[in-house]
Structure 1
Amino acid sequence: MTVPLASSSPGRASRLAAVRARTAAAVAALAVTGAAAVAVTVTTAPPAAAEQGTVVVSESFSSGSLPAGWNAVDGTWKVQNGRLYGTSANSGENNKITFGRHLNDFRLEATMRFESVSAATRWASLGIDVPASGATPWWIATMRSGTTAANGLEFAQRTTGNAWVVTNTASAAYAAGTGRDVRVAVEVHGNQARWIFDGREAMRTSSLQRSANGVQALFVNGATVSYDDVTVTELPPNGYIRPAGSPFTVIAHRGASAAAPENTLVAQEIARRGGADWIENDVQPSRDGIPFVLHDGTVDRTTDGTGSIRNLTAAQLKALDAGSWFGPHYVGVRVPTLAEQLADLRTRGGNLLLEIKGRHTRDEVATIVKVIRDEQMAGRVFVQSFEVDALRYTRELAPELPLGLLRSNLDADPVAISKELHLTAYNPDGNALLARPEIVAPLHAAGVAVMAWTIDSAGLWQRLERIGVDGVITNRPAELVGWNAALLQRPDTSPTVAITSPVDGARLDRAQSPVLAVAATNADTVTVTLDGTTTTVGRELDLTTLAAGRHTITAEVTGPAGTATTTSTFTVTASQASLGYLILTSGAKPGALTAMSTHVAHGQYAQLATYVERQAGKLVPADVARVIAADARTLARP
């Protein structure tokens, strides 16, 4: 599909822009000399990025010295040519500069450039959680100059024993190399973070161990690196809403339940190794009040025992075989307590989406909350339930825990019940959601994430991704992780549009005849307006008919992936030369031409205005007479 954009007038340069591959949506991009940078707003089907909050740090290093509050802990750090330069002579130096303040939810971004490196393995980092003194332990998001290596990007911790713990690695689409500006960012929500390389998510982690007072930092190792436009923005706390361009949050249903016996530590381990962001499990109490991880009301289906879980003691439940029903190599796997599951997640990594299964009393919910707190996992547990009372009790007892409401059928007003229950997420059956996809946008607008269950089909994943779902609960987490990875490799098909002529901010006189030109990608249609009136691309603007002053061009394009709009302004100026041009091209009678030219030559603008107003429709055509008179009166003002 090609968007027909009219050709420019003779003498104006025009060329056709190529198409982006995936949607086969081609666009004709008409360009002229002097294109200016303009802001573009894109509205697409996927959810928007999290709403921006307070900008804590915004530094362009224009002062020529280190900004106030920036602490060069070690190494050489200096501001030069509008950039911050950090130097580390060898790989043994993890030189750093700290700044900012402690934040739980924030986005740190910077333009980074390797000026020189001792080897392609050397790196620079964004410090996520670093003591202001630079002491260990600290967490960083690292970029090597050889960014296409398997570990070109990393999340890593430097421990108090000066050892490295690398939790996640990824490769970038291209090498940062040397002498090349790369815009990078890390978006942090508690123990979760996304590594964003050149505008696209490259990987994520849920393994951060946050401190109570760590700040932000920049690092350099075995290289000289320059930084520019460093920004730290505090974000709203709900990091569960998926930023535009990012893939699903992967939630392993009862662990990797398609590959191992559900709701067991082995299923949890397989899900973790497969890259799941969250483990989803169910909790119910034993007869003696110990919370156990089990889905059914009875143990019959998933163990070698029988009976209701609430009629069995903890000792009886621990004696059951919870693995042999799934396969012979799982013989002897046990039903875990909630405490055991949380301890495993705390020490080996991972987060828990915990479903309170069935009706629970307030005291039973209080026991669950106590176990979560005793295991020091309050920052890594998300509670969900079909039972509204269970959510109310959780809110009352532990307001710090995020809440999700499970639904088989959608509420008439999901936003209203989300507000009533103080939900962080609304978690419906995926197929029910696909029947009413329009509920996603208002939930996002209300700050509520959407997590769909239980979806194992790539075809349905694609449909859920298109309507903006944030997380998917699935029995096949490893497959969804792979699907996410493929999603990140897809070319960006969001439409773009820029007004290339007149250039944004241009000041034009009456004698100029700019051609209206637009460049667009991934678009099927283009609509352009001048001062609110629809016009056409390729039109030569007749500035003799426009009022002096500011004029606005708006361009909107639509394509398979959404809509994009942009605006550009230009100013028509009143000048002696412009008046001369207007007069010579006015079509006025010879006597009037002589009279008007004489007034202009002598700077007699007030007299010119009076004369032309008298002769309008007589010796001077009325339409051009109005423009000449207006410009003359503008120039006549002191």
Structure 2
Amino acid sequence: MIVSSVGPTSARRRVLAGLATLVVAGGLLTTLGDAAPAGAEPGDVVVAENFDSGTLPAGWRAIDGEWKVVDGRLVGTSTSGNRKITFGRHLEHFRFSATVRFEKVNEATRWTALGLDVPASGATPWWIATMRSGSAASNGLEFAQLTPAGSWNVTNTTAAPYAAGTGRDVKVSIEVHGNQARWFFDGRQLMRTSSLQRSADGGQALVVNGATVSFDDVTVTELAPNGLLRPEGAPLTVIAHRGASAAAPENTLAAQEVARRAGSDWIENDVQPSRDGVPFVLHDGTVDRTTDGTGAIRNLTSAQLKALDAGSWFAPHFTGARLPTLAEQLADLRSRGGNLLLEIKGAHSRDEVARIVEVIRAERMTTRVFVQSFDVESLRHTRALAPELPLGLLRSTLDADPVALSKELGLAAYNPSDGALTTRPSVVADLHAAGVAVMVWTVDSATAWQRLEGYGVDGVITNRPAELAGWNAAQLQGGVGRPTVAVASPADGARLDRAQRPTLGVVTGNANTVTVTLDGEPATPGQVLDASRLAAGEHTIRVEANGPGGRTTVTTTFTVVADPTGLAHLVLTAQVEAGARHAMLNLLADGRYAQLASYAEQHAGRQVPQDAATIIAADARALLAAG
């Protein structure tokens, strides 16, 4: 092909979380929690339950087992077998998150799961993301399907960094885009699949097996359809260039198999038509370099192309490998797993692109193919003929305005060469802000991967997918020094009264630069946050750290609470004239919040400072609304 964080807790436990005061000191970091995977913004929150009502939420259907709400958590019990509760609605693109705690297990192999595609009736088949209490085992985390025959089809397994055990809250999140899903454990992606088989109407579920498990903060958020964007906590997407072309003959099914076994997220290959119009997988314009034949591909019939040896040039034991047709490649991916990043090689007519689209649809692979090309007209043809296929534009040099061009072409990804991106890496952030992913070609060294991680790119096209997958694993374990960030104070989910003045505590490590904002405005670690000066309600702290190992972003929230005690503190501590102070305290004592709000506003800028009057009036009205 190519040439030139800690999740939220319930309101009740937030009050008990307390505050810690910690400031940046010498750039050292103690990781308190990784960022939760990022989703599309804005996104519709379809489900948001913390179970503080004390009863099962409306629309939640306990199919079997014992399900009840206890102390603000949903508790499911299974003495044996699979027991589930269903809810939500069918979504193609969503993030499903929950705080999960094993309360009791029959044995360490017992498990709980987030149901990703489960009929409301609980009937099979259904797909789940499973976590064992012994989650550090090799199959501690799984993606699996329960078939109509009652057998398990386990497609992916991995080990978590530690065992969930019993009595420990674990933040679990699964991000689903069609047949693809990412498994996040305490904010870190540990596994990915492209093997989900989606139904037309399956919703979400919680499942327990041989255990008693409690759940809190269950949320389901609809995401934008561009699953190519890399969430926070996820490693670089691994894209195998022409298959695993460093280990097997390029653009063959053998290279595809090696790439699949290496852990590639996508197989990248090229397509061109034979003389009789059959789309074949081949990079060069001729067959001379990679087969025992000669001639231009467009001058050879499909029968002539199928007779060529496409493997012996690479190594003797690949003798007999054949050039695959696009249909053969897609059939292999459909049956054995994997996704295709398909480059339309060179200029193609509308009819030639239509033939490619026809093959993709005939092989039922429209949800697993991503089309890219250097040729803008080929992309325009693809968009007109198959708007369901995501598009990527390949570039050897950067355009003057990649964002504008991406919008014009309807791109899901803008894919520059490594050399081109290095001239202006800031375009990554610009493209991300427009919802466009960045896939860089063709990069085979760990030094370059680390640099690209720092740029924030989404994926890397490489001849060495196994090495990149291993590098990603080391990255997740901290082996390459990715920046780490924690907001220690105010604690995530903290509820502050008006009298509190916590220090903004941020701890970072392996970071060259750290940027902190409070509600989008610049903030400084170590500064005192005066709760009497902040509006009542939720406030957001965002910290971004950049270093040689990449970029890490953490977002936390705290809430300033409006209550009578805090309101009294505001009146007493503001520079209010004595008469006005006495009048407002009397109104507060009598619970006359509407009059108090009006009084503060009427005397603002005279007996009551303007900024204090605004906050006093807002808190009084909040108390009035609360009854």
TM-score, L = length of structure 2: 0.80
Q: Which residue of 2 aligns with 1:441?
A: 429
User: Would the aligned equivalents of 1:52 and 1:234 in 2 still touch at CA under 8 Å?
Assistant: no
Secondary structure of the residue aligned to 1:26 is coil
Q: Is the 8 A contact 2:100 2:214 kept in 1?
A: yes
- In structure 1, distance between residues paired with 2:529 and 2:252: 71
Of stretches 201-210 and 71-80 in structure 1, the one that deviates more from structure 2 is 71-80
Corresponding residue number in structure 2 for 1:511: none
Match of 2:27 in 1: 25
* Map 1:500-511 → 2, pairs under 5 A: 505-508=496-499
- Residues in 2 aligned to 1:50 and 1:238: alpha-carbon distance in whole angstroms: 8
CA distance in 1, matches of 2:539, 2:89: 42
Instruction: Find the aligned partners of 1:483 and 1:397 in 2 and give their Cα distance.
Output: 38
Please report how far the alpha carbon of residue 555 of structure 1 lies from its aligned counterpart in structure 2 after TM superposition: 8.6
Deviation readout 1:68-108 (Å, 9 max, x if unpaired): 22222222222222222212112xx1111111111000011
Percent identical pairs in the alignment equals 63
1:148 corresponds, among 120, 123, 136, to 136
In 1: Cα distance, 2:367 partner to 2:167 partner: 40
Mapped pair 1:87 → 2:77: yes
Please say if residues 240 and 267 of structure 2, whose CA atoms lie closer than 8 Å, have aligned partners that are also in contact: yes
List structure 1 segments (4+ residues) > 6 angstroms apart after TM superposition: 13-19, 523-529, 532-536, 538-541, 546-558, 562-568
Shift of 1:225: 1.0
CA contact (8 A) 1:16 1:28 kept: no
1:171-210 map, 5 Å: 171-210=159-198
Structure ID, larger Rg: 1
Post-superposition CA distance 1:255-292 (Å, at most 9, x none): 00000000000100010011101100000111111110
Q: Is the alpha carbon distance of 1:604 and 1:53 closer, same or farther for their aligned partners in structure 2, counting shifts above 3 Å?
A: closer
2:272 equivalent to 1:284: yes
Out of 490, 498, 519, the position equivalent to 2:505 is 519
Are 1:338 and 1:371, in contact at CA under 8 Å, matched by a contact in 2? yes
Name the CA distance, whole Å, in 2 between partners of 1:534 and 1:342: 51
Q: Does 1:386 align with 2:377?
A: no
Helix, strand or coil for the counterpart of 1:495?
strand
Residue 145 (structure 2) aligns with: 157
Report the CA distance between 1:452 and its aligned residue: 0.5
Choose the corresponding residue for 1:322, options 291, 310, 318: 310
Aligned to 1:263: 251
TM-aligned CA deviation for residue 520 of structure 1: 2.3
Question: Residue 551 of structure 1: CA displacement?
Answer: 13
Which amino acid in structure 2 is aligned with residue 71 of structure 1?
R
Alignment CA distance shift 1:415-1:577 (3 Å): closer
- Structure 1 equivalent of residue 62 of structure 2: 72
CA distance in 2, matches of 1:538, 1:413: 39
Q: Tell me, yes or no, if structure 1 residue 359 matches structure 2 residue 347.
A: yes
Q: Within 2, Cα distance between the matches of 1:185 and 1:604?
A: 50
Paired AA for residue 209 in structure 1: Q
In the alignment, what sits opposite 1:112?
100
Aligned counterpart for 1:63 among listed residues 53, 56, 61: 53
8 Å Cα contact 2:93-2:225 kept in structure 1: yes
Conservation of the 8 A alpha-carbon contact between 1:100 and 1:216? yes
Q: Write the letter of the residue equivalent to 1:392.
A: R
Q: 1:520 to 1:304 in 2, by over 3 A?
A: same
Matched pairs, number: 559
- Give me the whole-angstrom Cα distance separating, in 1, the residues matched to 2:546 and 2:173: 28
TM-score calculated relative to the size of structure 1: 0.78
Match of 1:137 in 2: 125
Distance 2:20 2:127 in 1: 50
Q: 1:422 to 1:472 in 2, by over 3 A?
A: same
How far apart are 1:521 and its partner, in Å? 0.5
Offset at residue 124 of structure 1 (A): 0.3
For 2:163, give the aligned amino acid: A
Could you list the runs of 5+ residues in structure 1 that have no partner in the other structure?
1-12, 30-36, 509-513, 587-595, 606-624
**Residues 194-343 of structure 1 aligned to structure 2 (within 5 Å):** 194-343=182-331
Contact 2:181–2:193 (CA<8 Å) still a contact in 1? yes
Which residue in 1 is equivalent to 2:412? Answer: 424
- Distance in 1 (alpha carbons) for counterparts of 2:529 and 2:370: 59
| Distance in 2 between residues matched to 1:415 and 1:216, nearest whole Å | 35
The answer to whether the Cα contact below 8 Å between 2:180 and 2:195 also exists between their aligned partners in 1 is yes
Partner Cα distance (2:539, 2:369) in 1: 50
| 8 Å contact from structure 2 (residues 534, 560) kept in 1 | no
> What is the letter of the counterpart of residue 364 of structure 1?
E
Tell me the secondary structure at the aligned position of residue 517 of structure 1. coil
Contact 1:499–1:568 (CA under 8 A) maintained in structure 2? no
Q: Counterpart of 2:191 in structure 1: which amino acid?
A: M
The alignment partner of 2:272 has SS state of strand
CA distance in 1, matches of 2:452, 2:586: 70
Aligned equivalents of 2:30, 2:426: Cα separation in 1: 33
Q: 1:482 is aligned with what amino acid?
A: G
Q: What does residue 16 of structure 2 align with?
A: none
Aligned to 1:609: none
Question: Could you report, residue by residue, the CA deviation over 1:331-354 in whole angstroms, capped at 9, with x for unpaired residues?
Answer: 000000000000000000001001
Letter paired with 1:70: W
Query: Match for 1:212: what amino acid?
Result: A
Amino acid of the residue matched to residue 431 of structure 1?
Answer: G
Q: Name the SS of the counterpart of 2:426 in structure 1.
A: helix
Deviation at 1:63, TM superposition (A): 3.1
Residue 548 (structure 1) shift: 13
Task: Sort the Cα spacing of 1:47 and 1:138 in 2 relative to 1 into closer, same or farther, 3 A.
Answer: closer
Q: Name the residue aligned to 2:91.
A: 103
| Distance of aligned partners of 1:575 and 1:449 in 2 relative to their CA distance in 1, 3 Å threshold | closer
Rounded to whole Å, the distance in 2 between the matches of 1:548 and 1:247 is: 37
Post-superposition offset of 1:383: 0.7
Please give the secondary structure, in 1, of the residue aligned with 2:399: coil
Find the counterpart in structure 1 of residue 7 from structure 2. none
